[in-house]
Chains A and B, each alone.
Chain A
């Protein structure tokens, strides 16, 4: 079981690496989305520092959303998804493998790029590590929830936009606690509660999303 799990993760990583563009595109979108804000809100450091955590989190959310549509779509179109559903391993495990591969190609690069953008937005220094920690705990949940949306839109007429409409409401709890973790760290308050809740959201999404995504995939193959 684990061997086939890592087999699929390795294949997806090799595909992403061969295609190359994916994670680079996502990080570029993330950077551009954040850099736009000073032009909109004005360069005044005080304002930027105040909204830095929120801007970075919202941009991370949208960047994750960008790459989710193709999570199952390429496999669905070339027939691999059918064969994955027919492999001697439960589909839920394979969905989890796809989510981890997705997180490694999008979530991780975002976490690496985030502190750089925090500097651009003049975020207070002691918010950096908390930002990385919160993103590290939040982005897997985003990938898990996004996988459900990606599975549900297979075979639909309007994929991309529909996916964001379905999934964004479910992202809101992660956004709220992710930003509040960073803000209260900057404000010097305790951040244990936020991290516990972010962890809780992740543990909650871990079993629910592969089940729902697998059910969605099975329906798309009917």
Chain B
């Protein structure tokens, strides 16, 4: 496995090995990114709702922000 090209060739199976690894990477990274994005979005909306609730009725309930 000295030269890069023979490594990439994967003994002729390149067309199967790399798509397998590639697909795995794409899907795993994909679901991770989607999860993180929903998390950030939900936290942002919760903070917005909390701030809105605070502004609307500062007297009602203890005023403390989201950690």
A and B touch in the complex (CB under 8 A): no
